[in-house]
A and B are shown apart, each in its own frame.
Chain A
Amino acid sequence: MQIILEAEGLSKTYGEKTALNALHLKLSKGEIFSLLGPNGAGKSTTINLFLGFIQPSAGAARINGVDASKDPVGVKQHLAYIPEQVMLYQNLSGRENLSLLSALAGFEYSQSALDQFLVEAGLQADAINKRVGSYSKGMRQKVGIAAAVAKNAKVLLLDEPTSGLDPKASNEFSELLLRLSAAGTTIFMATHDIFRAREVSQRIGIMKAGSLIDEINAAKLNAGELEQLYLDYMKG
């Protein structure tokens, strides 16, 4: 099995405080992995480390074999990132924003190709040429997904993707993730949404105070059991 995303003893400390403690993780091609945990558990730190935005105190974060701390620019050839709030240039249209992001990744597409990506990501055709300032959160997220597809990313890093989405948009989003996964994209998602996590992921990690304390096969538990397990961990 081909390992696409790998954390090896990945740690991050800020002075005395440990934000992430020796994380070991391996995701294979097409796998969807969800990380559950309260605020401050280290989920965002993990994502920032894979993005190369911050330097690990120990260990390594690798994507497609590229160490994020050693080659923070090269690693981004292989990944796409969707923050909780996909913020785009408000004065530019969805298409223009996508054009900028994919061009920076080295892909210069024709206008029709750009539109194609946006429509496939689920954006209504009439919104493509409108300024992003008028977009909803879900619409902006779709531009983010389109950018991920357009740069042919092997890994998708998602930070709280479903928070603030209405149930319909959230459902559409889950389906989109499953489609991307089926096409071979590895997806790493930090979330609070136990229900969605169980629905789309193969594996679920539970994180507390910087440590990964359990890894669960999502197929083995139903939503209620998973929630109970999570709450038990948080108590103890």
Chain B
Amino acid sequence: MKQLRILLHFEWLNFKTEKSLVAFCLLMLLSGFYGIFSGHYELKKQRNKIAGLEQIYQANIREMGEKFPDSADAGDIGYYHSAFAKNHPDNWAALAIGQRDVSPAYLKIRLLAVQNQLYNSENTNPLKLATGSFDLSFVMVFLLPLFIIAISFNLLSAEKEQGTLRLLLAQPLKLSTLFLAKIIFRFLLIAAMVILLSITALLWTGAAPDLRALYWLLAILLYAIFWLGTSCAIAALQRSSAFNAISLLGVWLMLAVIAPVLINAATDISKPVQEGLQLTMVQREAVHGGWDKPKAETMDRFFKHYPQYSNTGSVEGAFKWKWYYAFQELGDRSVETLYKAYRQKMLDRLSLASNLSVVSPPAKLQEVLNGIAGTELQQHLDFIAGTKAYHDRLKAFYYPYLYQDRAFQHADFAKEPQYSFTAAPDYTKSASGILVLLAANVLVSLLAIFMFKTNTKELK
């Protein structure tokens, strides 16, 4: 214990004088701060876009007021007026942008058939999306391991190469004590960086320091231990610094880049997703086919779902909105199974990728962090489902005007339903991801201990 304390003290003395180590720390901190800034800024852009919607919404209502000064047919309003379903990011989203930058932060919704309104995209710069977000989660998932490798690849080999190891071990000191001191020192350094960056991120972005903060730190620290353990396992081989550096970078490349890339390819090839294209095309045929079907047939089918409106006035003769919205509604209903299949396919893809990612702690950590921030595809699908339900609420609001032949008063806009969604953190997924990271830790620790036991009986 006393030796440990002495060694830690000297590790610190050595660290302070080692320019490259200090530089690595600074680089890591700088990247972290930039990650926090950049994630926060991305979120700010999304919030600006959402904030701008209110003005567009009000302008549209004003325009409706000009067009229909006193009262209007609700059918005209349903056609010319649009509302917005808003997907407000939680402050935590700034720490792990996840899929938020590829999915729209809002959907513009009209009373018409909803299925072709749910998958519209936002203006995005594909080069930026392809390059990816430089948020704090990127720093933790990609750069933290590199930082850990940079400060521990020559854990033992540096002592050997500068010749100090034999002298140290000529003292009554176990190699394992020396090893432990070096690991503890590095872990403390890493933990300090992780905690410093995380606290900065919370303060900067205003993310609530609740249970999520605990999950966040736990996941990242476990991940850090995983990489430290890997570095130790390689260091225990007692090979040269160059060998260690190459091996560790190889492991990093394998786990953080090649494995996820292969998992992704496997997902795409085994579960290609065509349902989206099918869905829109089938829905278009169904909706536009409505014009060509006998009106009575359409209305009968519609009344099956809405018996309360079956005594509404006739739709024969000149164009009537209630007939129009009836076939819009039927168009949506005709693709309900396709919609479910499409959603299920995306969920399947997600869970396949998630299951395969047990082989890649970096991919797992990314999943955990996105789960904490509520920024995975899962949460966007929740938003889409919520928007679809919102459309139902809009129908429930407008249909009585339409089918009970009531005029829509301009003042009625004040009663129009609104929809704001904020994703909840996915604790289940995060917790299971943390368990996987824990298992990876146990595995790598056992490996490191085994390597140490078998390789350090004699000094090489």
A and B touch in their complex, CB below 8 angstroms? yes
Which residues in A have some Cβ–Cβ distance to B below 8 Å?
A: 48, 51, 53-55, 73-77, 79-81, 83, 85-92, 96, 100-101, 103-106, 144, 147, 151, 157
Question: Could you list some 17 contacts between A and B, CB below 8 A?
Answer: A51-B169, A53-B169, A53-B458, A73-B173, A76-B171, A77-B172, A81-B170, A83-B166, A86-B167, A88-B167, A91-B18, A92-B14, A101-B168, A106-B2, A144-B167, A147-B167, A151-B171
| B164–A88 CB distance below 8 A | yes
Among A74, A80, A91, A100, point to the contact of B6 (Cβ < 8 A). Answer: A100
* Residue from B17, B169, B172 in contact with A106 in the complex, judged by beta carbons closer than 8 Å: B172
CB distance from B16 to the nearest CB of A (A): 8
Alpha-carbon gap, A147 to B163, bound state (A)? 16
A-side contacts of B3, CB under 8 Å: 104
Bound-complex Cα distance A80 to B14 (A): 23
Inside 8 A of B170's CB, which chain A residues have their CB?
51, 76, 79-81, 157
CB distance from B177 to the nearest CB of A (A): 9
Decide if B377 is an interface residue (CB 8 Å cutoff).
no
Which of chain B's residues 437-460 have a Cβ closer than 8 Å to chain A? 457-459
Contact B172 A104 (CB under 8 A): yes
Set of chain B residues within 8 Å of A48, measured between Cβ atoms: 459
Contact with A along B159-203 (1 / 0, CB 8 A): 000111011111111100000000000000000000000000000
How many Å from the CB of A121 to the closest CB on chain B? 15
Asked if B14 and A104 sit within 8 Å, CB to CB, the answer is no
B457 and A55 contacting across the interface, CB-CB below 8 Å: yes
Contacts of A106 in B (CB 8 A): 2, 172
Residues on A with beta carbons closer than 8 Å to the beta carbon of B458: 53-55
Q: How far is the CA of A103 from the CA of B4 in the complex (A)?
A: 11
Query: Which B residues are closer than 8 A to A by beta carbons?
Result: 2-3, 6-7, 10, 13-14, 17-18, 162-164, 166-174, 457-459
Determine whether the beta carbon of A91 is less than 8 Å from that of B14: yes
> Is the beta-carbon distance between A87 and B162 smaller than 8 angstroms?
yes
- What residues on B are CB-neighbors of A81 within 8 Å? 166-167, 170
Neighbouring A residues of B2 by C-beta, 8 Å = 106
Question: What is the CA–CA distance of A51 and B167 in the complex, to the nearest angstrom?
Answer: 10
A87→B168 CA distance, assembly (Å): 10
- Alpha-carbon separation in the docked complex, A101 to B174 (Å): 13
- With a cutoff of 8 Å between Cβ atoms, the chain A residues found around residue B168 in the complex are 101, 104
- When distances are taken between beta carbons in the complex, the residues of chain B under 8 Å from A91 are 13-14, 17-18
Bound-state Cα–Cα, A105 to B3, Å:
8
- In the bound complex, how far is the Cα of B173 from the Cα of A104, in angstroms? 7
Please report the number of residue pairs spanning A and B whose Cβ atoms sit closer than 8 angstroms. Answer: 75
Q: Which residue of B lies closest to A77 (CB)?
A: B172
Q: Verify A105–B167 contact, CB threshold 8 A.
A: no
A55 contact set on B, CB distance < 8 A: 457-458
Complex: A144 Cα to B166 Cα, angstroms = 12
Q: A100 contacts which chain B residues (CB < 8 A)? A: 6, 10
Q: Say whether, besides A88-B167, A92-B13, A144-B167, A105 and B172 are in contact (CB < 8 Å).
A: yes
Complex CA gap A89/B166 in Å reads: 12
B169 vs chain A, min Cβ distance (A) = 7
Nearest residue (CB) in A for B171 is A104
Contact B166 A104 (CB under 8 A): no
Q: Which of B7, B10, B13, B172 contacts A74 (CB 8 A)?
A: B172
Inter-subunit contact B164/A73 (CB<8 Å): no
Residues on B with C-beta less than 8 A from A76 are: 169-173
Q: Contact at A101–B167, with CB atoms within 8 Å? A: yes
Chain B, residue nearest A84 (CB) = B163
Pair B171/A53 contact, Cβ less than 8 Å: no
Residues of B within 8 A of A87 (CB): 162-164, 167
Q: A54, B459: Cβ atoms under 8 Å? A: yes
In the complex, what's the smallest C-beta–C-beta distance from B3 to chain A, in angstroms? 6
For B172, list chain A residues within 8 Å (CB): 73-77, 104-106
Q: Chain B residues near A90: list those with CB within 8 A.
A: 162
Cross-chain contact A89 with B163 (CB below 8 angstroms): no
User: With A48-B459, A74-B172, A90-B162 in contact, is A104–B7 under 8 Å at CB?
Assistant: yes
Determine if A85 and B163 form an interchain contact, defined as CB atoms under 8 angstroms apart: yes
Q: Which residues of A are found within 8 Å of B459, using beta-carbon distances?
A: 48, 53-54
Query: Which residues of B have CB within 8 Å of A77?
Result: 172
Which single residue of chain B is at the shortest CB-CB distance from A78? B172
Residues in A neighbouring B174, C-beta threshold 8 A: 73
Q: Which residues of B contact A85 (CB under 8 A)?
A: 163
Decide if B6 touches A103 in the complex (CB within 8 Å).
yes
Chain B's closest residue to A104 (CB) is B171
A89 touches B14 (CB 8 A): yes
Residues of chain A within 8 A of B169, CB atoms compared:
51, 53, 76
Chain A residue with the shortest CB-CB distance to B17:
A91
CB distance from B91 to the nearest CB of A (A): 43
Chain B residues whose C-beta falls within 8 Å of the C-beta of A53 in the assembled complex: 166, 169, 458-459
Once the chains bind, are A96 and B167 in contact (CB under 8 Å)? no
Q: Which 6 A-B pairs have CB atoms at the shortest separation, nearest pair first?
A: A87-B163, A81-B170, A91-B17, A76-B172, A104-B171, A53-B459
Shortest distance in angstroms between A168's beta carbon and chain B's nearest beta carbon? Answer: 24
Q: Which residue of A lies closest to B173 (CB)?
A: A104
